Amino acid sequence: MKIITYSITLVLVLIFTSCNNSNEKVETLIAPAGMQYVDISSSGMNLNILVPDSNLGALDTIQTNFGSYHVKRGKDFQISITEEGGTTASKKEDNKNADLLQVKQYIIDEPNTLMWESGIADISEFHFFHTAKIGERTFVFENLKDETFTKEATQKMLDACKNAREIEKSK
112 within domain boundaries: yes
Residue at 11 is within a domain: no
What pLDDT digit, counting tens, does each position of 107-165 carry?
999 999 999 999 888 889 999 999 999 999 999 999 998 889 999 999 999 999 999 99
Residue 7 inside a domain? The answer is no
Q: What is the 3-state secondary structure (H, E, C) of 72-125?
A: EECCCCEEEEEECCCCHHHHHHHHHCCCCCEEEEEEEEECCEEEEEEEECCEEE
Considering the domain boundaries, does residue 171 fall inside one? no
Domain interval for residue 139: 29-166
Domain assignment present for 131: yes
Q: What is the pLDDT of residues 139-153, one digit of tens each?
A: 999 999 888 999 999
Residue 4 domain-assigned? Answer: no
- For 27-53, the pLDDT digits (tens) are 678 888 999 999 999 888 999 999 999
Domain count, the chain: 1
137 DSSP assignment: E
Model confidence, pTM: 0.80
Distance CA 158, CA 106 (A): 14
Whether residue 21 has pLDDT greater than 60: no
The verdict on residue 3 lying in a domain is no
Question: Is 88 within a domain?
Answer: yes
CATH number for position 91: 3.40.1000
